[in-house]
Every structure is written in structure tokens, then in C-alpha cells.
Structure 1
Amino acid sequence: MVTHGMVIMPQYEKKSLSDIVVAYVKNRILSGVLKSGDKLTEADISSELSTSRAPVREAMRILNEQGIVSFSPRRGNQVLEMSPQEVLEVFDIRITLEIQILHILSTQPILQEKDYQELHQMTMQMQKGEQQCSTNEERVFLLNTLDLAFHRYLWNASESSRRAQILEGLFYQLLIVMNQNIVSLGTFEEKAQEHLQILNALKTNQPPLVSEAFMQHLHKYVNATLANSK
């Protein structure tokens, strides 16, 4: 993502064509454009990105494996749809895996001062996010991108690569549902304060405090998302 100046929305780097399509779909989820059940038409995407359909098909396969896109012969490719029970199950899985990661980080000397500084900088960037955006799409994209960046930093710091890979997929699955009503995403200030509470808890090296701060953060998403899905 390019953040210098007032450029908020993503710039696509030179990658394989299928990687570009995957990034394109994920960025449209991050910006709140794609929601549960939305159709993903190969012809439309290939036209939008000026590419052939082959890399689009490969990207759909990758996104299907990540649980972000579903396919059926009748409907074709579409953004994942989940029942309230399935949403709750995904939240439960994410909470379980992320608490395991936070336990590792709060019981082992992994995070150093430079890590705390980097994470603190992310919370400050989130706190200033509202004033950087001129459109609602930019606002949603930046809020979600900064949220993902904070959590991804912790996932990767734990060196739990498989948990990190699974958690990234779960993040997008839940975001698709939350895009049904972006109010459930919260505000820059709210999310910044919640991240700061997680960060301050990590500095204490006390797993119960870390878990409590994280649970308070996630439960706000759970309650807002399930309320909107009824």
C-alpha cells in the first residue's frame, strides 16, 4: 500500500498475473466494496485488469483454497457467504489461534523494543487515519489495512507460520461478513485504543492480561457482526 501524500488506495506491483488478481480481490474486500455473495465474473475482472482469463481462473482457485471465494456450477465464483453459526465458528477459531500466538509472545523473549516501537507507530497511524481519507472507500480500506498490519505483525513475530497463514484467511472471511454493514468495523480511534491496550498488555508479559485485552477487542467485532447478521 502507498501511504505517502494523500494516496490511500493500493498500487499494484509487478507480480505474477494471478497474484495481481488475488491482490485486486483482497483489496476490494479491504475497501468494503466486495460483500458476501457478490459474484466474481472472470470476464469483468480480466477486462478491469487488462489480462486474459487464465490468471483470473488461477486466482479464483487460490482464493477458493483460502476460503474467501466459493464456486458452484450454477452460480460460478462468488464471495464467501456464511450463516451466523458459521461466522461464530470462524471467530472462535481465530480467537483460539491468536490467543495461542499472544501466549507465545507474552511468555517468550521474542518482542524487542524495536518491535514495540513499530507496533506503537501502527497504533498512532491508525489514530490519525480519519484525517488522511477523503472518501468512505479510502476510510474503510485504510482502517482494515492498518488493522490487518497490526495483527499480522504479531502473527509473524511469533514465527508461527502456519497459524499466521490460517489467520490471514480467517481475517478476510470475517471482513467479508462485516462489509455487510461497515459500522461493525468501528472507528479509527476505537481500534487504535484497543490495539494500544493489547500492546500495553504484551509489555507486562502476563498472558491473562494479554488475553483479556485481545478478547475485549475481538468481542466488539463479534457482537457487532452477529447483531447485523440477524
Structure 2
Amino acid sequence: MARIERRTTTSIVADELRNRILNGDIKEGAQVRQEAVAHELGVSRIPVREALRLLEAEGLITLVSHKGAEVTRLEPSEIEELFEIRTMLEVWLFEHSIPAITQEDFAEAQEALDAMRHAPVKEWGPLNWQFHSSLYRAANKPTTLKLLKRVHDNADRYVRLQLTLSKDAQERAHQQHQAMIDAAHMKDTYLAGRLLSDHINNVKGQIIATVAAMRE
């Protein structure tokens, strides 16, 4: 029997705000007013305040004394650090996962990759995480995977920005992702790790250049 998911008001508010931030509907540096959110969503200020604390822990919101909450604005150096963390964690997970990846894992990754090819940019975040996590799950490192999810979420809004502004970014990402699946199928740990590292570093460079140009 399938488990019934029980979501608190706080988690519902947090999910809504998180999605708006990641989709770019709430821009970096923008204030998030508790009263306005509570009124719009039809809830009290208490779950909104708790939701903002959750998002602060994820790095998406900054709580400023006497000013309230605002969407965290990352500097290029901080974005670079996020992607460096991604490289270290993901290559390690991928290399440990490859010997144990199942056909079900491959099928889930391929399904996400195929969906990403035709999905609007706003839907890329969950699909991109499905793709990557499917390839890392067999490493059986749940704590690292949970930590990586937080890093992905923090970087996701910048990935979506880059995909929106670059016409060939989606096709390039698709080709790189497919090459990673193919290398994992061949159990070529070295090649798979190198392809993944190159992919993350390429995305990092494009995003930093885009963000720097927008802020000039």
C-alpha cells in the first residue's frame, strides 16, 4: 500500500517559495515580506516565518535584522564555489556508483534526459536532479546525496538563467549527459568521471560569465 504523504503548512509554503525562487519569479536580492506571502497563500505568518527559516538553511533566503527576508544574491566567486563542491561530490559519487548501477537506475536517468530535451526551462531543475541522482544512488551514500541536493537547489536558478539566455545550451547539455550514461554503461569509471567533471566545469564557466555580464 502506498504511503500517504502528509505535508505541513510550513512545508507547503516553503515549497511554493522555493519554486518561485528557482524559477526566477522572485529575483535575487528581492525582499520576501511575511505579511504579503501569508495573505496571498491564505495562511498565518507563523508557517511563513518557519518556511523562511528552512529556506535560509538551504541558502536560498537571507534573514536580515530590521529588514526581513530577501532572496540570497550569490557573487560569482560563491557560484564558482558551489560548482567546485558539485564537482568534488558528484565525481566521487558517480565513480562509486558505476559498479552497482542497475538497469532501473539507467532507465530512470534516460527517462529524465529524454524529458529534458523537450521540457521548458522551468521544469529542468527536478528533471536534472532526477537524472544525476539516478546515476549516483547506487553508491549508497545517502548523507552525501542529501548534501548534494542542497547544493543543486542553490545553483539551479543560475543554471536555468543560463539555459534561458543560451540557445545551444540545452542541446550541449543533452549531449554531455548522454555521453555520461554511455560511459557508465561501459563501466568506464575514469571516462565517466572525466565527462562529468568537464560538464560541471563547462556549465560553471558559462554561468559565471553570464552573471558577470548581467551585473556590469
**TM-score computed with the length of structure 2 as normaliser:** 0.85
Structure 1 regions of 5+ residues with no counterpart?
A: 1-12, 130-138
Quote the Cα distance in structure 2 between the aligned partners of 1:105 and 1:80: 33
Q: 5 Å matches for 1:55-70?
A: 55-70=47-62
Shift in Å, 1:187 = 4.5
Note the C-alpha offset of 1:160: 1.4
CA distance in 1, matches of 2:56, 2:167: 24
Is the Cα–Cα contact under 8 Å of residues 64 and 70 in structure 1 kept in the other structure?
yes
| Among candidates 205, 211, 215, match of residue 229 of structure 1 | 211
* Contact preservation (8 Å) 1:178, 1:185: no
Query: What is the distance in 1 between the residues matched to 2:31 and 2:22?
Result: 17
Q: Is the 8 A contact 2:109 2:132 kept in 1?
A: no
- Whether the aligned pair in 2 keeps the contact of 1:42 and 1:57 (CA below 8 Å) is yes
Question: Which residue is equivalent to 1:148?
Answer: 129
Correspondence for 1:112 among 97, 102, 107 = 102
- Does residue 165 (structure 1) correspond to residue 157 (structure 2)? The answer is no
Displacement of 1:79: 1.3
Q: Are 2:83 and 2:201, in contact at CA under 8 Å, matched by a contact in 1?
A: no
Alpha-carbon separation, structure 1, partners of 2:147 and 2:167: 21
Number of aligned residue pairs: give it.
207
Q: Is the 8 A contact 2:91 2:193 kept in 1?
A: yes
Instruction: Mark the runs of 5 or more structure 2 residues left unpaired by the alignment.
Output: none
Deviation at 1:32, TM superposition (A): 2.6
Matched, 1:39 2:31: yes
Task: Flag the structure with more relative contact order, 1 or 2, with Cα contacts below 8 A and sequence separation at least 6.
Answer: 1
**Corresponding residue for residue 212 of structure 1:** 194
**Contact 2:106–2:134 (Cα < 8 Å) also in 1:** no
Alignment counterpart, residue 189 of structure 1, candidates 162, 171, 183:
171
Aligned to 2:45: 53
| 1:122-133 aligned within 5 A | 122-129=112-119
Evaluate the alpha carbon distance shift between residue 193 and residue 115 of structure 1 in structure 2; reply closer, same or farther with a 3 A threshold. same
CA–CA distance in structure 1, aligned partners of residues 167 and 148 of structure 2: 18
**Once the two structures are aligned, what percentage of the paired residues are identical?**
24
Q: Partner amino acid for 1:38? A: A
- Over 3 Å counting, the alpha-carbon distance change for 1:44 and 1:187 in structure 2 is farther
1:65-85 CA distance string (max 9 Å, x none): 122211111431111122211
For 1:208 and 1:162, the matched residues in 2 are separated by: 24
After TM superposition, the score normalised by the length of structure 1 is: 0.81
SS in 2 for 1:70: strand
Q: CA-atom RMSD, angstroms?
A: 2.2
Higher helix share: 2
CA distance in 1, matches of 2:184, 2:86: 19
- Aligned partner of 2:185: which letter? K
Instruction: Describe how 1:93-104 pairs up with structure 2 within 5 A.
Output: 93-104=85-96
